Amino acid sequence: MSKFSSNINLHELALSKGQRIHRTIEVEMAPIELSGECYQVVMGTGGVEVGVERISGGFLVTIAFDACIYGPCFRCLREAALEMHPAQEEFIPLHADEWNPGDISPFVADMVVDVAGLAREALMLSLPTKILCEESCPGVCPSCGQAGHDGPCAGTGEEIDSRWSRLRELRLGGPDASLKTDEE
């Protein structure tokens, strides 16, 4: 298998039931978009570790790798770096025609595994919903826009977007509280 190929042809492996092989495949990962922001992906130096095991009814393909994600913090827009260690398993049946097409991995065609596609999916599934520069990131002041990392700001913190001003008129006390409406 070529170092530059990111595919594994399962037919060419000629594995018997219970046999397992390991390969390391170099994969380049395109930038990813998350919550409208673009993040660069730097793959670890070890490449993608791929294991293929012949099991009853097909193959079990496992992948694991290290990567670092770089891009803006969701709260303050400073540079954030996130170390990732994604891993994933895929079962590839010997007789795909006996399976529902929705149950078969989209990264396998004619018993050829697209390792780069599988690695990208593993990375995307392991990402948090928000990438932060640090877990306790204070974000930015909603009134003046200064980053909370830079210390106290000149903003009052009391200013509210005028579109939300009607919410101040709500009286939310106990179970007997009523809402003030325009009809009153």
Taking only the tens place, the pLDDT of each residue in 98-143 is: 777 777 888 888 889 999 999 999 999 999 989 999 999 988 887 7
User: Does residue 32 or residue 177 have the better pLDDT?
Assistant: 32
Q: What percent of the chain has pLDDT over 70?
A: 87
Which pLDDT score, from 0 to 100, does residue 177 have? Answer: 52
Q: What is the mean pLDDT of the chain?
A: 84
CA angle, 138 then 71 then 31, to 5°: 150
Per mean pLDDT, which of 49-53, 94-98, 108-112 is the most reliable? 49-53
Q: What is the pLDDT of residues 171-181, one digit of tens each?
A: 776 655 554 54
- How does strand 20-25 pair with strand 48-55? antiparallel
Q: How far, in Å, CA of 119 to CA of 27, rounded? A: 8
CB 118 within 8 A of CB 91: no
C-alpha distances out from residue 105 to 29, 151, 153, 175, Å:
19, 49, 51, 52
**pLDDT-based confidence at 51, cuts 50/70/90?**
very high
Which of 141 and 21 is assigned the larger pLDDT?
Answer: 21
pTM of the model: 0.74
The 10 Å Cβ neighbour count of residue 9 is 12
Amino acid identity of residue 83, one-letter, is E
Determine the Cα angle at 69 with ends 68 and 71, to 5°. Answer: 145
CB 81 within 8 A of CB 39: no
Distance between CA atoms of residues 115 and 104, nearest Å: 15
